Amino acid sequence: MRVILFAIFYCISFTINSQSLKDNIIKNTSEVRTISPNDKEFSDLESLGNAIGESRIVMLGEQDHGDASAFEAKTRIIKYLHEKKGFDVLAFESDFYTINKLSREGFGIDSIRSNIYSVWSNCLEMDPLFEYLKNSKIEITGFDSRITTVNHRNKISFIKEISNSISERIDTLRIPNYSSFKRNLKNIILDEYEVKIDKKNQKDFINTLDYIFNELQKTEPKNSFLLQSLQNLKEHALNAWLFDAKNRWHLPEREAQMADNFIWLVKNKYPNKKIIVWAHNAHIVRDTYKKNNKRIYPKSFGEMIYNSFPKNEVYSIGFNSYKGYTKRSLYREIPGYKIVKPSRNSFENWIFNLGYKNAFINFRSIENTNQFFKMKGVMHSSDKFNWLNCYDGIFYIEEIFPSTKIRENNL
């Protein structure tokens, strides 16, 4: 009898707590009138702006790189943040070396766009953003460790530029295994995830790269772009060798280097700027623990950034949706997929039942009682986490539509 009473009490307590959490989420939900990137009447985004406050780093996620609806919403948010909140840097989850080199050398938006990953650069729904960037004072940067993965010409340029930078500063006859290093450098950059290098050559490559880095440290400034690019090259290689297409989220080396690149940019290139980050949810989510304290996703770029700056300087917005269809604008064809509707007692249904097509939810204003609830908070599949720990806010879109490809072949 005592066991039965305890079970009844537990179920009632759980239901009350769940209802209280749901009510608090609903209370802190603000309707967003539109996600149209051409709509510049921003009063419906004021709740988002108030939540961000004086943050100087705002991270915008997406559930899939094919979510064109999210791209449009993010474009409108970027316009709002630039025009109303003073943000003037846009940092893409794209090639750190090439984008920053092109920016430094004064290349225009079209050249930079062609070196942003094709899921965005080859997407028709991104046109309003890139057209806006042409006529605004927003600077574009990249922070990903993957090098020149879009434009083949720039892959060749990178190999040549890095080789020249080394030979101009160091007598290459003194560098151990330099001939094999140059050969493997070419293979790593041109083939990336398809590269075939045995363990011995992998070890030799890293040892040679470490030698070069240590030698250059003697003469290069500590904040040198070259030194940062060589460190980035090391992680690019490790990421290529360790990549597993069936387990692609478990790449902590890439996350750590993205964070290191971003911190370098904040400290050395944009010390007094307010920065918007454009990335996948998986790269900005933090503290993805189950109730048994088992971590599901590795520590992300966003979590490392969150822990590297004062909490009031960083605000992360995960993107979330109820239904739809998604497909990426890749040069190679991969299938899209229908987004499965959420379970009945889930975050998405709570917002859907409000009748809002789009909404912003400020998680920071909700008392965190360590409750777990279901939400499609990383990709278009549901997880049960204490999501209030994972993001500072959520942008909800009822229906996702897929990206529209611009070109069939790469440049």
Mean pLDDT of 300-304: 97
| Strands of 56-113, DSSP E | 57-60, 89-95
Mean pLDDT of 254-262: 96
User: How does pLDDT run across 38-67, given as a tens digit for each residue?
Assistant: 999 999 999 999 999 999 999 999 999 999
Helix pair 152-169, 199-217: axis angle to 10 deg = 50
Mean pLDDT of 28-45: 97
Question: What percent of the chain stands above pLDDT 70?
Answer: 93
Q: Are strands 139-144 and 89-95 parallel, antiparallel or unpaired?
A: parallel
Quick one: pLDDT at residue 323?
A: 98
- Flag whether pLDDT at 12 surpasses 50: no
Q: Which two tokens stand for residue 371?
A: 């409750």
User: How does pLDDT run across 181-224, given as a tens digit for each residue?
Assistant: 999 999 999 988 888 889 999 999 999 999 999 999 999 999 99
Quick one: pLDDT at residue 249?
A: 52
Q: Which amino acid is at 141?
A: T
Give the HSE-up count for residue 27: Cα atoms under 13 Å, Cβ half-sphere. 10
| CB 99, CB 112: distance < 8 Å | yes
Residues 6+ apart with CB under 8 A from 306: 286, 314, 316
Of the pLDDT bands very low, low, confident and very high (cuts 50, 70, 90), residue 16 is very low
| CB 142, CB 99: distance < 8 Å | yes
Select the more confidently predicted residue: 271 or 252: 271
Q: Which two tokens stand for residue 43?
A: 């009063």
Q: Which two tokens stand for residue 13?
A: 């307590």
Mean pLDDT of 264-292: 95
Computed over every residue of the chain, the mean pLDDT equals 91
**CA–CA separation, 142 and 386 (whole Å):** 30
- Is 79 in a helix, a strand, or coil? helix
Of the pLDDT bands very low, low, confident and very high (cuts 50, 70, 90), residue 8 is very low
**CA–CA separation, 67 and 48 (whole Å):** 21
Mean pLDDT of 56-83: 98
- Flag whether pLDDT at 35 surpasses 80: yes
Q: Are strands 337-339 and 314-326 parallel, antiparallel or unpaired?
A: antiparallel
- Is 411 in a helix, a strand, or coil? coil
**CA–CA separation, 195 and 186 (whole Å):** 10
- Flag whether pLDDT at 13 surpasses 60: no
DSSP type of residue 247 = G
Tokens 């777990």, residue? 372
| CB 374, CB 383: distance < 8 Å | yes
- Flag whether pLDDT at 9 surpasses 70: no
Mean pLDDT of 121-134: 97
Among candidate residues 300, 395, 390, 389, the one with its CA nearest the CA of residue 356: 395
Mean pLDDT of 94-112: 94
Does an H or E element contain 112, and which? helix 109-113
Q: What domains can you pick out in the chain, each with its CATH number?
A: 2-144+274-400 (3.40.1660.10), 147-254 (no CATH)
DSSP type of residue 324 = E
User: How does pLDDT run across 318-331, given as a tens digit for each residue?
Assistant: 999 999 999 999 86
Q: Which amino acid is at 121?
A: S
Of the pLDDT bands very low, low, confident and very high (cuts 50, 70, 90), residue 352 is very high
**CA–CA separation, 21 and 363 (whole Å):** 11
**CA–CA separation, 398 and 283 (whole Å):** 22
Burial level of 256, CB count in 10 A (0-12/13-18/19+)? middle
Cα torsion 134, 97, 196, 255: sign: negative
Q: Which range is least confidently modeled, 106-115, 192-201, 231-240, 339-348?
A: 192-201
**CA–CA separation, 241 and 334 (whole Å):** 23
In terms of pTM, does the model score above 0.95?
no
- Flag whether pLDDT at 4 surpasses 50: no
